[in-house]
Every structure is written in C-alpha cells, then in structure tokens.
Structure 1
C-alpha cells in the first residue's frame, strides 16, 4: 500500500517479466483529497508502463496534467535507454556486446552508465565475498532451464557453467577519462538482474528532480525509490514483510523519504524439484537456486545499493548480511523459515523507518 491518498496496493512483490499492457494514467482531483490546504497547486498523478520486462509504476505530484505526462514520458525514455545498455536479453545491448568479448583478452570501453553499475557491483561483490556476483550469467541461464524442466542440471553441465563465472574474472580499469572492462574467461556472461533495476529507478528519480518535481514514488516490481512525500505526509507509507508462511508475523509499514527500498524472496518465483523448494535466486557459489526460504527487505541511500544488497542478503548467512548492510549504512529486515520455525532479524536502525497507523 502506498499512501493513504491511494487505496490501491503498490507494486511491491516480484511480478516476473510480465507485460502490463498499454500506458495508463489516473488523475486524483483536489476535490477528492489529493492536496492539502497549504499545497493546492499540487495534484497526484499515477502512471504505469512495462519497462525492462517488468511493471513500473510512477506516482508524482505536479501542478497540472501536462507537466505530469511530460515528466512520465521522460522517465520512461530514460529507463528504455538504460535497458538498451544494461539488458542481458537484448542481443545488441552494450552489456551483451561486452559479454561476447569474454576470453579474448580485449579491454572494452564502457559507457558512463555501464561503468557506474559495474564498479558498484564490484564493490558489493568484494564486500560480500562473492555472494553478489554479476558474472553469474551462465549459472542463471542454466537454472532458468532447470526450473522450466523441473530437473536439476547434471554435475558436469553445472561445472562447465561455474568455470565461466567468478566476480574476480571481471576486470575494470580507469584510463584517461573512461572505464574499461575485460572478461577473463571464455564463455562469461554478465547478468545485472540484481542491480540494474535499482539503478534505473535512481536515474528516473534524477530525471524528476531535474524537472523540479521532488514529490514522487517510482517502483519496479519489488524495488522502489521515494522522493519527498505527498503534501501533508511525513513519508510514503509502504507495506513490507509479507511472508508466505503459516503463522507469519503480520505485515508492517515503513515510511520512506528520499531513499531506495528493495525486496528479494521466492514468494512469486520458485520451483519444486524432487520435493525441494528452490528460489529463482541463484547462489553464485553453487550455481543452484536457494533453498533457504526467506524474505529480505533493504532500505538504503539509493535504489542501486538496495537492489544489490537485497540479492546478497538472500545468499549470505543472516548475521553476515546484517554486517554487510551496516558497511553500506543500509537497514535490513530478514524473515526466514528454518525448519518449522519463523526467524526474524533486523538491523538496529530498521525500526526508525517503521510507520504505525
């Protein structure tokens, strides 16, 4: 749930790579309570668009519909441009071209966007000792096939995929005013699924702030970036911690302002193989989907860090994940189900974001 003004639920859970359909906009008129007495020139607008194969949603406050529509189109254009750079699905994306250079010994010049994402990914990989790893592409491809076929990959096939991974095999260097990358091992394939969405949300927020539109919430599946809150509110009220197990603790709400939030879990994307529940999230150290059923929520200074930390925290032991979050000055909530019990762990500062009715 977003804000009290809007009674529809936010796009807060994994929705897979589904296409929402045509562009839509809803205008909430001032007479219906979308503005306050001190801010009557600002009206709430909502937009949805499928981007990066995911449903994106934008809520913003502007003086008029034309301003809102123009801002939304600028946001969608920026995200679409980033998809052409960061996608591992698009054969001619910059990322895919970089992956095709694997094993050649070539240093490939990077655009500023790809360089920023890869350098940030490298830092998270280093601090998480590889729990977050954008070179996991061959393992992810193999695991997608295993989920479709409901059959684990053979040890031999898995070993070949793992030979083409490893975050230390992605080399980065800064030359003059540009970054370059080299993929050391043949067959390497980069997958930015655990970080690109968060960066796209950050860039969307930058577009809006650049237009002097500070009041917004933009979300893409389970990730979001919040700007200034709606008029008269202290923050954007977001529901988190919806755990799909019996006797789960009740969901709670956080109040967000100028931060990023990301969630990771297998509530919507999982597979049962041989009686074992596997997540779509791959452990880079094994090449197999996670079997530790957990739901992770991260609040960080921006969407990219929140996105990457939520993936890493799904792989790491909970206490190690809490330490990692602290290194990035982020807050973390983990709900997990070891055996038949429910375990909850939260960073010390997570409580200050909680919002009670």
Structure 2
C-alpha cells in the first residue's frame, strides 16, 4: 500500500453542491456537509466509484468502495429508478403522486397505501407523538401562510386570525391508519408534507439497494441527508465536516469520523425572511403557528436510519436548545447543537454523541 495525502474535498448538502445547480430545494436550510475523502492514510486495493443525479427537487451523490469492480452505469440506473419511484410517492409537486392523491382524498374516504407510504406515515405518527407534536408533517398550511412554501412571502406578515385558522388544519392525529395497515383515513381535512422525512427515507432505501447488491462500503447523500457504511478508500471511517453557520460556505465547525449510521441536519441560518428588521425563521412551531424563536442555529442528529435522523433534526429545531437536549438525553440520541450566542456560536453535544465519536475514534486507533 502506498501513502496518500489529502487529495479532495467533496461538498455535499442540499444548499448548493459543486455538481448541482441551485434549485428551490437548494434554498431550504439544512447543514452543509463536507465529506473529506483522501485524507492522509494508507490507500487500499479497493476502488472508489461515484455517481450523482437529481431527485426530490435536489441532488444526490453516491460513492461506493469496492475491490471487485462496479458497473457504475447499471448501478446508477437502478438507483435512479428507485429514487424516481419514491419521488412519485412522496412528491407534493406532482399532482399524481401518492401523497398528492392522499391530500386530495375526501374526509372519511379510505385511501390505499403503498408499503413505502405506510413506512413513512407510521414513523411520522410515532415521532409526532414522541416529540409532543414538534415533528408534524401536517404543518404545510402554516408553512405556506408564512411564505416558505411554493409561493413567496408577501410584504405583510400573517395576522393572529389567519394563524388561528391555519392551526385548525394541522392536527396530524386526524390521519388514521386502518387496522390492516393498508389504508389511511382522514378524519379532518389535512395537507400532509413529508419533506422533513422523505429524503432521509430515500437515503435508507438506496442503502438497502446497495446492501442487496453486496456493497457494504458506501456513502449515500440526498439533499444533505446521509447514510455511511463501512470504510472509505483509505480503510478509514468516513470523514464528515459540519459547516459553521453564517460564515463562508465550506468552513467546518466540527469534523468527525463516522461509519454505519445515518445523519441529518436542520438549520435556520440561511432560509428566513426579514420584515422591519426582524428575521423570521423558516422553521414553524406547529403549536404556536409562528416561526420558532430560540438560540439554535442548527442541529445534527446521528441515528441508525436517516429517516429518523431527518425527522428528529427538524423536531429539535422546533423544540429549542433546552427541550431538545433533554429529549436527546432521555432517548439516548446522538445530537450536535450549534447555538447562537450574542455575536458568535457555541456548540453542545448530547452524551450519546460523545460516546459515539469516542467509539469510532477507538476503532481508528486499533
């Protein structure tokens, strides 16, 4: 094996990627990740194979490390087909997507669910309850009201009457999954938006596809949500950098080594509106109907599956620093918080986050 030195840095995330044009989804604030590949170390006999594409209004990037060769064209086609299937299920922009058809179904009318939709709705309902409604996929009417949906914000902020009216539309418990788990029934009009969990779920589905093809060393990224498995080309855990908020893109606040896990981030420091000198975050509190006001700039959650990490990162931004940390500690969740101070940022970690990094670092030493 030959010694290698730092050779490349790949920026991945759903803000802007080196291989990506800016899209609407690229304006949605999420933490930018720096995947550091090719840091000093011994390179293995394995080769790195990478490909990318577009899905769910954003981009994706896949890296596979293999010693037996990879038909990149065939694998890329299979991944794209799977992502197209998922986009046709979860898209809120496609009129004939499964989610759009569910949203247009009349109250009380049974709606047949695909296995994928059942997976995501079941997880969403579980986390809706577990987070005391901080994670709420029915919040779309409030997001639209504040101008963070398809239509841009107007000059006038919503008034209390408008907010109260929309709050009546966001009770996610009014979606009931039937006992046979093949149908869902809305007990009240709902407009469900699964964007805070669907990309993470898609990441997990691509990871399952790769595992089925007997690939075990890979990185899957869709719009900033990640699954990391095995080792990189240097026989080391994947190196991930968390971007420093409000500074130049690509400046890392924290760099960590990770493997065999999912990771997602939610942040409010790039997607907001200004009105009369006041900054309003794109993260809406589903209990008040208003943008959250807390000190969190971003939250990164590390979880065995990217779908849960995706949803929990959103929920933690709604909860705020104190409640989110309490929840992370009580549920043993690895979470990393970047907190806004007067003129700078500080960081906090849950105990599970520290233990996870200690375990990975110990493996590296051995």
How would you bin the TM-score normalised by the shorter chain? 0.7 to 0.9
Q: Deviations over 1:253-307 (max 9, x none)?
A: 1211110010110233222122111222222112233343511111001100100
Aligned partner of 1:308 in structure 2 is 311
Q: Deviations over 1:298-324 (max 9, x none)?
A: 100110010000000001032321233
Aligned partner of 2:269 in structure 1 is 267
Q: How many residues align?
A: 336
Task: Please tell me the root mean square deviation across aligned C-alpha atoms, in Å.
Answer: 3.0
Aligned partner of 1:169 in structure 2 is 174
Helix, strand or coil at the partner of 1:251: strand
State TM-score, norm by structure 1: 0.84
In 2: Cα distance, 1:277 partner to 1:4 partner: 43
Q: Deviations over 1:97-141 (max 9, x none)?
A: 111125x21222211100010110111110111000011121122
Contact 1:147-1:271 at 8 Å conserved across structures: no
In 2: Cα distance, 1:134 partner to 1:258 partner: 27
Helix, strand or coil at the partner of 2:8: coil
Q: Deviations over 1:144-199 (max 9, x none)?
A: 26853243123333222221111222222331xx432122222x100001100000
Question: 1:1-357 to 2 correspondence within 5 Å?
Answer: 7-12=8-13, 14-15=15-16, 17-18=23-24, 39-40=44-45, 42-63=46-67, 67-102=71-106, 104-143=107-146, 144=148, 147-175=152-180, 178-186=181-189, 188-244=190-246, 251-292=253-294, 293-326=296-329, 328-340=331-343, 342-351=345-354, 352-353=356-357
In 1: Cα distance, 2:23 partner to 2:328 partner: 28
Q: 1:179 to 1:212 in 2, by over 3 A?
A: same
* Pairwise CA distance, 1:348: 0.8
Helix, strand or coil at the partner of 1:133: coil
* Pairwise CA distance, 1:222: 2.3
In 2: Cα distance, 1:203 partner to 1:36 partner: 31
In 1: Cα distance, 2:15 partner to 2:289 partner: 21
Between 1:332-341 and 1:74-83, the stretch displaced more is: 332-341
* Gaps in structure 1 of 5+ consecutive residues: 21-31
Contact 2:229-2:260 at 8 Å conserved across structures: yes
In 2: Cα distance, 1:277 partner to 1:43 partner: 47
* Gaps in structure 2 of 5+ consecutive residues: 17-21, 27-37
Contact 2:226-2:263 at 8 Å conserved across structures: yes
State TM-score, norm by structure 2: 0.82
